[in-house]
Amino acid sequence: MPTPALLDAPRLLTRQRLRREGWTDRQIAAAVGDGRLLRPRSGAYVPPDSHADLLDSCAQGGRLACVSELHRRGVFVLDTSVLHIHLHEPSRNAPKASRAIRRHWHRLRRAPHPHSIAVEPFDAVACAVRCQTARAALATLDSALRLRVLNPDDLDELFLGLPQRYRVLRRLIDVRAESGPETLVRLMLRALGVPFEVQVVIDGVGRVDFVVAGWLIVECDSDAHHSGWEEQRRDRRRDQAAAALGYSTYRPIAEDIMWHPERVRNALAGLLAAGQRGRRGQR
């Protein structure tokens, strides 16, 4: 039985296309029956390992777009609760969606492959900037550039196509951020008006996310990388080594950075104020 190489790509396989590849209707039905092909809508087929969001967007007759497509590619986006799809025209036979959907109709700047079930990364980034808050958009830009999902040479075109109010974000991009929460904390530190360094290597400690005012280390932890006891023990020993050198360490968790930023800002402000009082007391 034929196995088209196209099954490896996130592209739509129509019945006509499969027939051209040598499939019979019986073989197509058998492949759907045993899970070798998925049929998100009538006459449309995708590989069985396709991302769930691709299946949902295809079922709606559109292409995966905006923050949903970037999330599929591993780029940081703040909120993934809504499925973003791009449509050319309404789908009359789309099934009732099991989740909230945001439909986009704008003209794409990069023409996707005719059978692609996702927009091109450039258009996904451009859409995601407009669909998110400014702080989340900057975190997405940092992440997309760092992961090479967005080419740095495309920044001129990207920002020329965005409303002028978004252009301030370009001056704030820093691809040294290794995660979305790092970008969000960087913005907090800028707002507090304190001097800080990014991705600093300290002898005996290693590389840390931020050194603020020369004495406060800020590490942006996440469940994915700091949940096990071995990771926690390693982090505590790093903090202990830093303390021996005169540093204090603050580790806000990603959940608070993303969804309760006021808590993190207040903690940073309190630590920095206490540090200033301590230095005055030593004079």
Confidence at residue 9, expressed as pLDDT on a 0 to 100 scale: 42
- The domain segmentation of the chain, as residue ranges, is 1-50, 63-172, 180-281
**DSSP helix/strand/coil, 264:** helix
**DSSP helix/strand/coil, 193:** coil
What CATH topology corresponds to 180-281? Endonuclease; Chain A (3.40.960)
Confidence at residue 6, expressed as pLDDT on a 0 to 100 scale: 36
245: nearest Cα among 214, 277, 221, 283: 214
For the stretch 193-221, pLDDT in tens is: 999 999 999 999 999 999 999 999 999 98
- What does the H/E/C string look like for 152-176? HHHHHHHHHCCCHHHCHHHHHCCCC
Confidence at residue 37, expressed as pLDDT on a 0 to 100 scale: 94
Model's pTM, two decimal places?
0.90
For the stretch 243-254, pLDDT in tens is: 999 999 999 999
**DSSP helix/strand/coil, 216:** strand
Instruction: Identify the burial level of 180 via C-beta atoms within 10 angstroms of its C-beta, where 0-12 means exposed, 13-18 middle and 19 or more buried.
Output: buried
Confidence at residue 111, expressed as pLDDT on a 0 to 100 scale: 93
Confidence at residue 280, expressed as pLDDT on a 0 to 100 scale: 58
226: nearest Cα among 253, 248, 198: 253
Give the CA dihedral 201, 202, 206, 212, nearest 10 degrees: -70
Q: For residue 208, which phi and psi values (nearest 5 degrees)?
A: -120, 160
| Residue 126 region by backbone torsions, left for phi larger than 0, else alpha for psi between -120 and 50, else beta | alpha
Confidence at residue 225, expressed as pLDDT on a 0 to 100 scale: 56
Mean pLDDT per 10-residue interval, the chain, length 283 residues = 41 90 94 95 90 92 95 96 89 74 95 92 97 98 97 97 96 96 98 97 97 97 66 91 97 96 98 80 60
